Amino acid sequence: MPWTVIRERLLDGKVRALSSLSSVDAAKLRFLQIFNVGPARAQAIADAGCRTFDDVLKMAKQAEPKVKISKSQQVGLELREDLNRLIPREELVELEKEIKKAVAAAGRGFQMEILGSYRRGSAFCSDVDLVIRHKRYATKDQTDEGKELLRKIIDQLVEHGLVKPEHQLACGASKFMGFIRLNTKSRFRRIDIRLVPHASYPYTLLGGSGDSLLMKFLRWRAKQMGWTLNVYEMGKMYSAVDANPNGFQPGTLKEVKDEKAIFDLLRLPYASRNVFLPCFKFCSSSSSPRHSSSRRSATIESGRKSISQPASSKLRISTR
């Protein structure tokens, strides 16, 4: 959103560009606030004659609505006030404790972690991104095993009063999507759960925590070494002439025990997630990063020396 728009809203209490919108365009913008509703669906709902959220709810309950509203969209509409608010870190810390109790009650052998901005130490988060692993789930092909393990987790979340049955939007062999809340006085929050193969866990912790600049750099570094890195694994990439350029060559997958081992394979210096997640920043030689005397900044020389820089764009690794 342009700063001029924010300035208008703060100083004048309104935005001139929005005031001149037609009723249909204004409704479209309003409906984009509904969970799982994109521009095309928002336009269709507005074209169907809806102008308010109540209009959408009434249409959703019709036997033959002009525009079909999915279960996730209907629940998201009912919970829109909660879902449009960020989650304070203090709340998510308490929610994490309750989730751990539910996971422990699901049986032995589960490991879990909340990823995203929460793991990067942010003061606010948009949703709950939970990753889980179990030794019984070794590969993505074990769909029956995955369904059973994930179902145990969801059942315990319901048993502990964190998730309501009607708020379970999707549950498959490895992924769950729904809404969760700490207690009856708390707001509902969106939660995504991923059950990953046991060996993929360190890669998912790293890829799911980010940030995006760090992951972009790590994928570039892996490519320079002839590997492909994603949120599940890392292995030797196929050449351009191979039939499956997006896959890995058989027998080349790199199994690791933790995130540090990934950095070791890439021959990069490692720090704990509280340091490395926000610290890696790279830019082209044409634009130098700004430095402030009030902010500590140091170059990781060992990392920079270990990387063969491409001729087209020299990369600098720095902590900010």
Complete DSSP assignment for 253-281: ----SSHHHHHHHTT-----HHHHHHH-B
**281 secondary structure, DSSP code:** B
Q: What is the pLDDT at residue 12?
A: 78
Whether the pTM exceeds 0.75: the reply is yes
Q: What is the pLDDT at residue 8?
A: 77
Give 287's Cβ-side CA count (13 Å radius): 4
Q: How far apart are CA 52 and CA 30, in angstroms?
A: 8
Q: How far apart are CA 24 and CA 52, in angstroms?
A: 11
User: Do 274 and 241 form a contact (C-beta atoms < 8 A)?
Assistant: no
pLDDT at 246 over 60: no
The single-letter code of the amino acid at 187 is R
136-192 tens-digit pLDDT: 999 999 999 999 999 999 999 999 999 999 999 999 999 999 999 999 999 999 999
pLDDT at 58 over 50: yes
User: Do 191 and 130 form a contact (C-beta atoms < 8 A)?
Assistant: yes
| Nearest to 173, CA basis, from 152, 143, 128, 149 | 143
Domains, the chain, ordered by start? 3-83 (1.10.150.20), 87-196 (3.30.460.10), 210-319 (3.30.210.10)
271-311 tens-digit pLDDT: 766 555 444 444 333 333 444 433 333 333 444 444 444 43
